[in-house]
A and B are shown apart, each in its own frame.
Chain A
Amino acid sequence: MKQKKFSHAGGLFFRMLRLFVMLLFAGVSLPSLAVADDGAVNTQERIAPVAEVRLQGQPPVEMVAAPAQKKAQVVEPEAAPQPSRKDYPNVGISSRAIVWVLAQMHLFFGALVLAVPLFVLMIELVGVFTGDDRYDDMAHEFMKISLTGFSITAIFGGSLALALFMLYPDFMGYMMHVFGAQVLVYALMFFFESFFLYVYYYGWNAFRYGNLKWVHLTLGLLLNASGLTIMLLANSWATFMMAPSGVNEVGAVVGNVWEIMKGPLWNPINLHRFIANIGFGGAVVGAYAAFKFLSTGDPAKRAHYDWMGYTSNFIAILAFLPLPFAGYWLMAEIYAYSQQMGITAMGGILAWLFIVQAVLIGTILLAGNFYLWSGMSRTDGSERYKGLIKIIAFVLVVSFLIWVTPHTLILSAAEISLLGGSHHHILGPLGIMPAKNIAVNLMLIATFLSFQLYRRSDKVATVGWAPLGNALLIGVYVAAVANIVFLGVYFGYFTNTVYKVGSSVAQVGTTLVVIVFGLVIDSLMFRNARVLSSHWGRIPDRSQYALFALPIAFTWLMALMGYVRSSVKTHWHVYTVMKDNSPDNFIPTIGYAGNMITLVTILFLLCVLFMFWVANLSGSRQAKPEPVVGGVA
């Protein structure tokens, strides 16, 4: 009976799915036709009378030129508008500040709700393959947390659109002109995303087993596909503003919408945001798990939320490890596109923000490592590795200090005289990129080692070659550290700039080799390993504060680097094509930017608390009031 009910639900689902696929194709093909026709048939022609209508006693109606004559005319493409100061409405508050807050809040929540379904789908898939219902329940709970986030994203997105159209009408008019019907595809994707989201979330228990589970997984896949498409489309607007393509030097559209979208920075941003979103999403849901862990005394619930917190941290740190490399690619492409833009980012006023970035990344890595070390107390087998924690901590702290060392200092004449120059003779060389490249790669390797030790702590290898495997692993780490230090010192300080930049790619390659070798050796060595008992919930309370630190640092970092990315355009709406003539067409002081970044971070965290509260509310039920004797309540 139950099966029949499921089959009926499945049939209905497939019919609806077919309808949506048809709509999807219609949505993609119709706007592209509209774009194709745009050049040939203009508005004047479309609304022109089809025949001469003449009233008695009136002069003849002037007709629009015949199509044959029109085609002979050369249509000049429309250049980007150049608004003057008076074209920007003044609402009494800085327009930039309004858009800044709304855009950043929209991006925060957008990142969250795009990321959570991604790893929820992965966790659900693990649950299917392992047959362990706990994975399924955890994935469902992750979705529950993020559900409110979808509404908040839409609220901020709508507010942002209204603010942009009101405060920057010429700029928005130009963007609409350039991207045309692509923005309608973007809107259409929201319908798909909402449909898949609600069916995916509310259908969780209805499509739980057998073939229907695969239907549910497909829904999750389609939810992610529509979410990712939304992200890619929105990214194309941001990257067009930084590095316009498909337009000529005055901003007139000369290419089709695909040529406009696929600018030189589009894919680096796509990759960077995709990875960063996953790390950010993992960190936020980890804070929820920590909050639930600390607020309950029930051992079963503590065990559940401990496991949930561990999984969240695992996702956050795993996504975070390749993030610096994606960021490196993005910066390299920015430099390749415009050296001026690259220097503005990393050599001018914004360079100081990279020092703040180092502090925040250091916080993330230290918090993530501390959580892993604390988590090792869940198993008795971790005693074997505790000695290594001190070495890892030492490497992390020293690397962190190198990373935060600035190159130039703001000094008085007396201080310069005392120092013997503008740079400290020992600390000065640590302020430039080669030293920082060594530091960041060592921090990533140390973090991966923490992961590896954690994963090993509840297992004992049983294969005969385990001692040789361990020796090989030591060899990998030692040789990798030697190679990274050699590449950084030799090419960074003793060769030319081209080799210096090139050697950083070899450093990244070395770090990736460590990760790949580590995973391969461990997966082979711990096959059929003896598993020691793990005690979920047996973790010090202080470890949970690391899970709170992660989303705070992640959020701050996103706000900070998002600001840097946007600011490198300096006084341009669209770089080199459309000037920003608004009263805010300058890079603000670091202090002002810092305050704005902090403001949006706090606002986001308040909204996240609201989101957690709502997620918690759905699971609570008020007890029915006892009737009062005498009939008066």
Chain B
Amino acid sequence: MVTYLVFALIALFLAAYFAGRSKALSSVGGETSKLHSLPSQHGMFLALVSVVPALLALVVWSLITPGIESNIVKSNFATELGGLGIPQVEAFIRDARAIAFGGVVGFTDATKEAAATLYKTVHARSVWAIVAVCAVLAFAGFVWGYGKIAPAYRARHIVERIVRIFLIACSAVAILTTIGIVLSLIFESLRFFQQVPIHKFLFGTHWSPQSAFTGAGTQQGAVDPNIFGMVPLFVGTLLITFIAMLVAAPTGLMAAIYLSDYASKPVRAVAKPILEILAGIPTVVYGFFAALTVAPFFRGLGESVGLGVASESALAAGVVMGIMIIPFVSSLSDDVINAVPQSLRDGSAGLGATKSETIRKVVLPAALPGIVSAMLLAVSRAIGETMIVVMAAGLAANLTANPLEAVTTVTVQIVTLLVGDQEFDSAKTLAAFALGLVLFCITLALNIVALRVVQKYREQYD
């Protein structure tokens, strides 16, 4: 039904376009020079005023109805659903929806069938409502716009204003996204901090919300705030990030230096794509590689020298993450190094310095703010990286600085807390949003600092 509505609106758009165009043409007897706007602009004007209001109504409707329909069904079946937890209620709604509209049904019973019937009637009513609203809006828009078309009518201005509003709205999406991220993180985190005090969360040293029985918040009021201390996660994240930077910073920087100052053309033609491919490989592939190849390799290596290496050691995850970040570091450093003016290099060479001396004593100091900023961005990237650590790092929160042991990170915990069936209101799931907020703040701060470093310390040579 909704699909037909969309097709009808598209048809109306085309029809209105041609109707508007022909009316504009006939109003001046075919002499376009007497029109203020082009015939096609009149057509576009009519098409837009007839379709856009109806289309907006349709978009709003399709965004809000699923929630409203589910709530109506839920409230009608409140007695049956009373004793169930949130995942069960969700499953119930999902099944009822699947029975009503076709889809994969988990299992069915009489209540679900009844709910599905209710769903169908509610949905049918809301569909009819939106069809009626769209029809009225489209008709009114068309009649109003058709009456407006006249030789002197400034259709172009209207059309261009609508286009401009559309463009502004599109660029505001970026702001809306940021607002959405901040608001959703803050609201859920505030709910979490009502159950767990913020200082216990930030400074507690014990993290085990996954332990099923000790107050992980599956029942209301039974939250043990002492198991939500994020310090071990923070330390684990820092440890893995440190190892990753230990791999990525020197390798990436040296690769950038070599490519910009030493490499011959054929070498560059091979090396650049290699780095680009490394940058393009999905992180889940790196994660698989870390878990399958690198972790057993380090374990075997450790065994052969008599060291006990955990099978999910921080070392393996860190090293693979470092490899992933190498192209990031090298491309950012490459830009910065190339931005150092040639005159500085020439001057240094003129004084008799070798190439490496020029790089170490002239180019790098000049590019330092940019390089520091690149490293900070790389750190921010490593902290926010998820799949490698989910697949190769551990789940248990150990407070340790030993890279051979298994540690866990903020992102791993977000994933483990939110994947699988959970109750959305428990402290366990809300904790994931609090962790997300911390992650967002850290990466944002790093990005801002990186920007400030460049702005403040950059030398202006030109």
State yes or no: do A and B come from one complex: no
